[in-house]
Amino acid sequence: MKIFAEELRNKEIYSSDGLKLGIIDNLVVDTKSGKVLHILVWPAETVDLTRFRVDSQQRIVLPFNKIKSIKDVVIMAPLSE
């Protein structure tokens, strides 16, 4: 799958069970391989941040390889899989 980073920015992101996680802000890329490692997400107000890894700006850090679907919104596979 090929997609531009700007196409992901500001998209809503949801867990596979329908919980709104927030809005995608940015991506973390490995500069040597070019592989996208993580998605940085501004959390929704209802998200319990203690359940997630967060960066210094309080964005949720989600593994890119757990994206299940990218359409009008982004859906994440369960993180425990």
Query: Do the domain assignments include residue 20?
Result: yes
CATH number for the domain that contains residue 28: 2.30.30.240
Dihedral angle at the C-alpha atoms of 61, 67, 70, 74, nearest 10 degrees?
-50
pTM of the model: 0.89
Query: Do the domain assignments include residue 81?
Result: no
Query: Do the domain assignments include residue 23?
Result: yes
Q: Phi and psi dihedrals of 20, rounded to 5? A: -75, 120
pLDDT of residue 7: 84
Which CB contacts under 8 angstroms, 24+ apart, belong to 3-12? Answer: 3/70, 8/39, 8/70, 8/74, 11/70, 11/72, 11/73, 11/74, 12/73, 12/74
Q: How many domains does the chain have?
A: 1
Query: Do the domain assignments include residue 46?
Result: yes
70: containing domain: 5-76
Q: What is the pLDDT along the chain (81 residues), one digit of tens a residue?
A: 677 778 889 999 999 999 999 999 999 999 999 899 999 999 999 999 999 999 999 999 999 999 999 999 999 998 764
